[in-house]
Every structure is written in structure tokens, then in C-alpha cells.
Structure 1
Amino acid sequence: MTTLFYWLDPWEPSPTVVIAVLVAAVLFARGARHARVSISRRIAFWIGLTGLYVALHTRLDYFFEHEFFMHRLQHLVLHHLGPFLIAWSYPGAALRAGVPFAWRQRWLRPAAKTRLARAIFGIVFNPVVAVALFVGLIYFWLLSPIHFKAMLDYRLYRVMNWSMAIDGLLFWWLVLDPRPAPPARLAPGRRILVVIAAIPPQILLGAYIFFTPHELYPIYSICGRAFTWITPMRDQQIGGLLLWIPGSMMSVIGALIALRHWLRLSARSRLRDERRVERGVPARLSGKKATAS
């Protein structure tokens, strides 16, 4: 038990992480009692949320700051696995139900209907922007000069980690949405294309890091490595492989889940309703015309 508390003790305490995780946990726990949330979805949500907390606020953060491959493992959880599991659990209904009804009526719904909110959602959930942000943030934070500064400045380090976690949540929420469009932002076929488009850049960057014959990130040698028995080049190669293989495989799994949603909606004739809405014909009205004929 003492060992467990030792590892749960944060290397660099952050009230923001604690508050964000607690708010999400309380809202989901409250809402899951009213919304219909299956056991598998609950398990996925709690594992994903726990993964984000462990990657952000435990003693493991020391190793994330002193080994490149551990840093890549951290971002694999923050940008891929944790947000993937949370989005896969589709917790939107439970989180909304967890907010007191009066707060939803007075604050959340009016805020979501403002022009600013609609504009922001329209930008971040645009498929081109979503792919560019998802891949671009990986490339940006792995630029050698940027990475060097981020690992030295704790404020920039936290911005880096939070940007990866938030972008991961937005991206996987867009891709793994099981609903037809609308109310989903993208049609099922486009969701598959979005996640597939994110695969080649990750493979290229991972392969580049793996095959580069010189040290790309000397900051870990300068500040001291957590595992002295791993050479700098081997550390870099393992980090490249983590981006190359597990990162790309998460995108493949996401594409398969999006394909499954597409087939399920097609089997239920929900895609026809999508096409009717796109043509400006309400689904119920179209159904009445079909019945009358």
C-alpha cells in the first residue's frame, strides 16, 4: 500500500488536473445513474479517465521528463488511448445528465447556442482542421527546438500535455461518434476517411525518428536519464516505434469502429435519413410520403 501511495504522489502537483478529473468523474457518476450507460461503456470511461490522470499527475511524470520513450508513452496515453476510451464510451448523455437541470437550462444550453460557441465547434470539428490539429500537434511538439524548451519550462510542458489531451478528446469524439449525421458532426463514411488520413503522417514521423542515426533530443542526456542502462539512440528508437506502431494502430482500430458504426446505421436505414436531411427533407415527412405512395 505504501508503494502504491508513493507512485500516486504527483511529481509536480497540479490543482488544475485534480479539479478537471474530479469534475468529469462526479458528472459521469451522477449522470450514469439516470442515463442508460452499459457496463462496457462505464469501464471504458473510467479506464480512459484514470489513464489521463496517471499520465498527468503521478510520480511517473519524473520518468516522462527524463526518458524520450517514456515521454512518447505518456503522449500515447494522453493523445490516443485515454481520449479514445473516453470517446468510445460515448459519455455525452451521462455528463449532461450529471449537470443539475437548472444549470443546464440557465447556463449550458444558452452558452452552446451562442455564435462564438457555434463558430468554435465549426472550426475544431471541421474534418480538415481535425486531422491537421491531430497530426500537427505531434509534429510541433517533436520539433527539436520546441521539444527542448518544453522539457525545460514547466509551464510550456503543461501546455504541451494539455494540448495533446484536449485535442485527442476532440478528435476521437468526432471519429467515434456512433450517431448518424445529424446530430453527429460527420457522416460515418467521412469519419473513416478522417482517421485514415491521420495514419501516414504518424508512420512517417515514427520511422524518421527510428532511423535517424544521430540524437534528435539531447535534452534527456543534458538533464540526466532515468534509465542509464538504455543508450540515447536506443531510447530514441523505442520512442519512434511507439509513435510508428501503437499510435498508427490506434488509428486503424478507430477506423474499424467507425466502419462498424457505418454498417450498423446502414442496416437500420439511418443513412437514408442522413441523405434526406442533406436534401432538406425531414425524415419523418419523407417517411409519410413513402407510406402514402
Structure 2
Amino acid sequence: MNLLVWLEPWEFSPTVVIAIVAAAVLFARGVSKAKVSIARQLSFWFGLVALYIALHTRLDYFFEHEFFMHRAQHLVLHHLGPFFIALSYPGAAIRAGIPFSWRQRFVRPMLQTRAVRATLDVVMHPVVAVVLFVGLIYFWLLSPVHFVAMLDWRLYRVMNWSMVIDGLLFWWLVLDSRPAPPARLSPGRRVLVVIAAIPPQLVLGAFIFFSPRELYPVYSICGRAFTWLSPMRDQQIGGLLLWIPGSMMSVIGALIALRHWMRLSGRARLREEHTSPAKAVSAANARPSPVRHP
């Protein structure tokens, strides 16, 4: 069996193709100019390929016909793919990949508009970021909402893209390695933000796993891809994917944010130790010499 067949789209989406190709081209163009390390390049390409596989391959059939496969898809779209893309810190490379004239005429004016700045200020606020990150998971897993989203292909794509965009914004906010400013949050607040997102995921995953009834009958109505798997077992596996791997990704994100916090704190202490002797010497030189009386 030809494994490349699995890379063919189950339902072709020009939006996915344009977005993936544009990101790939811009990053590839900017790698040499921004001097991106091999590790960061591998992280970016892994995240981008993971998003493509979860959005635009034959696996989409299984994502639409098994609850646990759907949860695996959203684990990639909301956690894994955006996490590795944000971990590669691709901003400088993507910016360098955009032609300079385009940056001057289109990108910079657009980013400086009041609407864009206000939107980013809202969605990147720490409280809003946590509420959106967790709230989207809860919203799309509400049984009536989930039922309609799995039947309407337009809402299904909105659901998937909302997870991708929110995942990129959240992990970009949390995994930022810079001090604040220019980062939006201080290192300590980044740690708190990602930790705050863990308990709600644990609660929802446990609720789905221990639920005594079938919460998502749409998969039984439309036909399941794996007939040997009972609806309750399918639901339990899906709950586990949210309960354990989803929460573990947040724990890993918290550890990385904590590492950045310790690194930035260490650099601040080194700067203080480096400048304190100079300040002492300058203070001594500025001190008036005592007056000697004969």
C-alpha cells in the first residue's frame, strides 16, 4: 500500500494549502537572513507538517467518524502543532522572508492600525488568553454544538481553524523567550498563565472519561470508522486524550516558561553584579575629599 495516498486530502481546502505554503515559503526565505538554528528549524517544520496532517489528509475521514480521533486531531491543532511552531520563535525569520517593500507598504501599516492593535491587546491579555484557550475546548465539546459542527462542513472548518489560531496565539504568548518589554508578559506571568489552563482541562477530560452515558451520539448516527470500538470506549479514550496528553503539554509549556524566567533572572543578576563595582568606584570618586585642618 502506498503510504503517500494518506497525504492526499479527504476534502480539498484551498485555505489550508495557501496558509501552509505561505508560512513555509516565508520561513524558508527568512532562515538564512535571520540565522535560525537547526533545532529551531526542525521545530518549525515539525509543527507545520503536523498541522497539515491534521487538517488536510485522508485522516480527516477518521477525525469525522470517531470521537477519540477527533480529540487527537484537536490535540495536534490546539497543542502540538502551535506549540512547536511557537517554540521555534519564527517571528524574525517570517518577517525577514517578507520582501522589504511589502513590509513597508502593507504589513507594518496593517499592524499599526488601531483595530489590529486593540484586537491583539484583548486576545493577548493573560486572563482573556486563558479563557479563550480553555473556553474553546469547552465550547466545541458542548454536546449540541459538537453535534452541529460535525454535520456542517463550514462550521467544522471554523472549529478547526479557531483551534489553530488560538493555539498559536496562546503558545506564542507563553513561550516567548524575551524579557518584558518587548514581550507582552513578564516571565513569571507566563508561567502562571499556562498553569491556570491545566485544571480546567483535567476536569473536562475526567468528566468525559467517567460519564456513564454517551455524550456525542453524532458518531453513532453518522457511522463509526472503527466498528469494533464501542461508543463508550471511544468516548473514554477521547476523554483520556484531553485529560492526560493535553494537560501534559501545558505542564511542559510551564516548565519551558519557568526556564526562560530563571534564565532572564540570572542575566539580570549578572548585569547587577557587573555594574555594582563600577557604581561603587564612581560614587567614591564623586565623594568630596575630607578637609584637613593644620
Amino acid at match of 2:66: E
Q: Which has the larger displacement, 233-242 or 4-13? A: 4-13
Residue number in structure 1 paired with 2:228: 229
Residue number in structure 2 paired with 1:76: 75
The separation in 1 between residues aligned to 2:98 and 2:20, in whole angstroms, is 15
Cα offset for 1:36?
1.7
The separation in 2 between residues aligned to 1:290 and 1:160, in whole angstroms, is 60
Residue number in structure 2 paired with 1:172: 171
Equivalent pair of 1:34/1:94 in contact (CA under 8 Å): yes
The answer on 1:195 being equivalent to 2:194 is yes
Residue number in structure 2 paired with 1:261: 260
The answer on 1:124 being equivalent to 2:107 is no
Residue number in structure 1 paired with 2:249: 250
The answer on 1:43 being equivalent to 2:42 is yes
Residue number in structure 2 paired with 1:144: 143
Residues 114-145 of structure 1: CA deviation (Å, up to 9, x unaligned) = 21121011001000000000000000000000
Amino acid at match of 2:8: D
Count of aligned positions:
281
Equivalent pair of 1:48/1:85 in contact (CA under 8 Å): yes
Q: Secondary structure at the match of 1:268?
A: helix
Q: Secondary structure at the match of 1:237?
A: helix
Q: If the length of structure 1 is used for normalisation, what is the TM-score?
A: 0.92
Residue number in structure 2 paired with 1:216: 215
Cα offset for 1:5?
2.7
Change in Cα spacing, 1:162 to 1:272, as seen in structure 2 (3 Å) is farther
Within 5 Å, which residues of 2 pair with 1:97-108? 97-108=96-107
Residue number in structure 2 paired with 1:281: none
Amino acid at match of 1:259: L
What stretches of structure 2 of length at least 5 have no aligned partner? 284-294
- Cα RMSD, aligned residues only: 2.0
Cα offset for 1:291?
8.0
Cα offset for 1:272?
8.4
Aligned identity (percent) is 77
The separation in 2 between residues aligned to 1:139 and 1:290, in whole angstroms, is 57
The separation in 2 between residues aligned to 1:33 and 1:91, in whole angstroms, is 12
Residue number in structure 2 paired with 1:24: 23
Equivalent pair of 1:265/1:271 in contact (CA under 8 Å): no
